[in-house]
Amino acid sequence: MDGLSCYVAGEGPPLLLLHSVNAAGSAAEMRPLFDRYRATRTVFAMDLPGFGFSERSDRPYSPRLMTDAVHTMAAEIRRGCGNASIAGLALSLGAEFLARAAVERPTQWDRLALVSPTGLDGRKSRRGPEGSTRRIPGLHALLSVPLWSDPLFRLLTRPAVVRYFLERTWGSEAIDEALWAYDVHSARQPGARFAPLHFLSGGLFSGDIHRVYERLTQPVWMSHGMHGDFNDYRNQEVVESRPNWRFGVFQTGALPYFETPDEFFAGFDAFLGKSIHA
């Protein structure tokens, strides 16, 4: 897939990092992880299609497009790393794309860390038809009307609004200022609105994600915080009894590796060090 951007550094076993999806998402959300693990691994932090320095054209954005981008990046990583299996870490909605990629091509993936993953909130079963989404009919067409789509997106990505949503993500005002500044800058780039409008219409959320999570065979470490807007994991029971899943909870918001890095890294290091059969 053309038009993908990826940051690469370090030497050692490969680790792929996937950011979340929001109005201003990018690989910048992975910075603490990228900086930490480049000392021991070859770390790849990609910008998903429609975000960061990846192509931001006006096209249908879907879980299929995002998953295929992960497949493309995984193939490139394996070519450069001697066909080694890849450890993956994904944040929020990025976890759905990573999980689907690992289900579809399981031999490419060593183990998966899902940080604040979507699809496990509330009590509603998400076992729709394979490849289905949670798109709200007609909403994307409404949001994309040229008369107001760009003004609407600019309103949603004003510096004060970006700060507001990051504070809701953190659960406090103590956000990462460098991430806020990058988000504001990133949301002003040409084509920045196209992928987020599909996100806002529900078209990037998988309607079958419970089936996907249940089909994972690799070791999985799911972690999340207790503060902010993203702390509802009542549907975790879908996977919590599965023997290949492990869980970590932090007294943070949705990005624990920003707030309590030492604690998060200790948990992730332990997970990375476990035998694949543990």
Strands in 245-250's sheet, in edge-to-edge order, are 5-9, 42-47, 14-18, 86-91, 109-115, 220-225, 245-250
Summarised one tens digit per residue, pLDDT across range 141-171 is 999 999 999 999 999 999 999 999 999 999 9
Average pLDDT over residues 262-278: 81
pTM: 0.96
Is a pLDDT exceeding 60 seen at residue 192?
yes
Strands 42-47 and 86-91: unpaired
Residue 198 is predicted with a pLDDT of: 97
Is a pLDDT exceeding 90 seen at residue 138?
yes
Residue 274 is predicted with a pLDDT of: 63
Residue 2 is predicted with a pLDDT of: 72
Is a pLDDT exceeding 50 seen at residue 228?
yes
Is a pLDDT exceeding 60 seen at residue 61?
yes
Is a pLDDT exceeding 90 seen at residue 275?
no
Is a pLDDT exceeding 70 seen at residue 65?
yes
| Dist. CA 146–CA 103, nearest whole Å | 38
CA distances from 57 to 50, 157, 242 (A): 7, 19, 40
Q: What is the mean pLDDT of the chain?
A: 96
Residue 1 is predicted with a pLDDT of: 59
Residues in the chain: 278
If one looks up domain 5-273 in CATH, what number appears? 3.40.50.1820
DSSP state, residue 24: T
Site of tokens 């694949």: 276
Is a pLDDT exceeding 80 seen at residue 69?
yes
Average pLDDT over residues 6-15: 97
Is a pLDDT exceeding 60 seen at residue 91?
yes
Confidence grade of residue 277 (pLDDT, cut at 50, 70, 90): very low
Residue 76 CB-density burial (10 A; 0-12 exposed, 13-18 middle, 19+ buried): middle
Average pLDDT over residues 29-51: 98
Is a pLDDT exceeding 60 seen at residue 115?
yes
Confidence grade of residue 229 (pLDDT, cut at 50, 70, 90): very high
Is a pLDDT exceeding 70 seen at residue 276?
no
Average pLDDT over residues 97-118: 98
